[in-house]
Structures are given as C-alpha cells and as structure tokens.
A = this chain, B = another copy of it.
Amino acid sequence: MTYSIGEFSKIVGLSDHTLRFYEKEGLIKVNRDDNNVRIYSDENKLWIESLLHLKNTGMSLKDMKQFAMWGHVGDETLEDRLALLKNHRKKVVEDFEKLRQSLEHLDNKINYYENEIGDCFSTN
C-alpha cells in the first residue's frame, strides 16, 4: 500500500506540516511520484511508528535525527545505532521507575483525599 500525505497524516496521527518538518529534518525519507508528490509506503509507516516509540520514551529530535542518519548510511553504523539505543534504554528504565513511584505517590494522595472527604462528611 501507498499513501498520500493527507492519508498518511491521518494514519500515523501527525499533521502534514509535521511530516514535512520531519522529512526536512532528515527523520524520514519519502519517495515521490512523477509530479514530485510524496508517496508514503508501509515501510514509512513502520519507520514512523518506530520513531514515535522513541519519541514516546523521551528521545529528542536531535537523537532521533542521528539515529535516522545512521540508518540511511548502512551496516557500518549498526554498532553506533545499538549503542545509542542501549544508552537511551538506561534513561528510559530510570524514567519508567520514577514514573511508577510518582504514580504510587499519586495513588496515596488520592487515597488520603478520599479519606479526608469521608471524614468530612461523617462529622456532619
């Protein structure tokens, strides 16, 4: 399957502005037809989804750009890419644990508030 930028933007949930912006930044390579119109492929879809996972884990555009650049070069950058991913993973695992703790704190807070309000009503 192939998609126009309009279709593709709906599928991946990024605006056409953002898709062009990402392309300009070197995050995606997109084919064109005879009229210079972008043709997005399923491969592009997988790649964008991958990028969005990296973005979701807090990777900066700068690092995603580096990763994409290396990807475009070829196999001699495999180790660089792996190093980047492993390094990134460390941070993500830390962030994940921090988020887990903060969620726990939030739950405790909610519990506390529910008791407060319960008490408040019981004293009426």
Contacts and interface: CB of A to CB of B under 8 A. Distances in A.
Interface in A99-124: 99-103, 105-107, 109-110, 113-114, 116-117, 120
Give the oligomeric copy count.
Answer: 2
A53 B109 CA distance: 11
Interface string A33-60: 0000000000000000010011011000
Contacts of A93: 103
Nearest to A92: B103
B95 A109 contact: no
25 contacts: A50-B109, A53-B105, A53-B106, A54-B106, A56-B102, A57-B106, A75-B116, A78-B116, A78-B120, A79-B117, A81-B113, A82-B114, A82-B117, A85-B106, A85-B110, A85-B113, A88-B106, A89-B107, A92-B99, A92-B102, A92-B103, A92-B106, A93-B103, A95-B99, A96-B99
Interface of A: 50, 53-54, 56-57, 75, 78-79, 81-82, 85-86, 88-89, 92-93, 95-96, 98-103, 105-107, 109-110, 113-114, 116-117, 120
